[in-house]
């Protein structure tokens, strides 16, 4: 399992009902279900990844999250995870709203395209940068809405949501320190955020 998925697993309370959107091969759900006592459900659009989940014995449905989550009722999960998937969606705002409809807590991780190295690649080479954590060229990648940390925070606020407990991640997927922790938009390679509904003034 990728190290960043281990970080995300640590952010999920043991015994939670978890929905993993864009669950890939089911590695995160396998950790949560078999080792942390969670009830898990995956959603995956890739047929290859879907069959990898089935081979692991992970509950999964084939669906496109850009169409919403009509098969899941309000509040049917405790936590919804969206790991390195938001930037590949056509309708990221809708996906965020649907996440927070079916659960009180969301966990979102993504590659930070505001990283100084990516800015310099574009400035000095004049070509679309290729992040170390998503090493595909612009015409090969599934990413259609890459964003920076500031972009993501702005999107969350625009949907009436709040972020909590951000974990800034290093190149190996583990927690980062130093400049990345102090100035994440410029120096963090990726990040994982807890997202919740805004409780309103005086409630936090």
pLDDT digits (tens, 9 = 90+) for 106-144: 999 999 999 999 999 899 989 888 887 776 777 878 888
Q: What is the pTM of this model?
A: 0.91
| 3-192, CATH topology level | Rossmann fold (3.40.50)
pLDDT digit string, tens, across residues 56-108? 999 999 999 999 999 999 999 999 999 999 999 999 999 999 999 999 999 99
Torsion angles phi and psi, residue 172, rounded to 5: -85, 0
Residue 200 has pLDDT above 70, yes or no: no
CA-to-CA separations, 163 to 1, 91, 102, 143, in angstroms, rounded: 26, 19, 17, 23
Domain spans of the chain?
3-192
């Amino acid at each position: 399992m990728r190290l960043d998925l281990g970080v995300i697993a640590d952010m999920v309370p043991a015994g939670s009902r978890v929905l993993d959107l864009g669950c890939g091969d089911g590695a995160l759900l396998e950790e949560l279900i078999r080792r942390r006592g969670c009830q898990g459900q995956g959603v995956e659009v890739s047929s290859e990844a879907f069959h990898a989940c089935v081979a692991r014995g992970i509950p999964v449905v084939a669906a496109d999250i850009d169409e919403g989550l009509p098969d899941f009722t309000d509040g049917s999960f405790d936590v919804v995870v969206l790991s390195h998937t938001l930037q590949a969606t056509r309708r990221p705002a809708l996906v965020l709203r649907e996440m927070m409809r079916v659960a009180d807590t969301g966990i979102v991780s993504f590659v930070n395209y505001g990283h100084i190295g990516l800015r310099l690649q574009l400035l000095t080479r004049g070509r679309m940068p290729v992040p170390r954590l998503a090493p595909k060229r612009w015409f090969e990648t599934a990413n259609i809405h890459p964003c920076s940390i500031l972009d993501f925070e702005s999107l969350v606020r625009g949907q009436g949501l709040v972020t909590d407990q951000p974990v800034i991640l290093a190149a190996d997927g583990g927690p980062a320190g130093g400049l990345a922790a102090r100035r994440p938009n410029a120096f963090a390679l990726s990040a994982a955020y807890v997202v919740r509904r805004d409780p309103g003034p005086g409630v936090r």
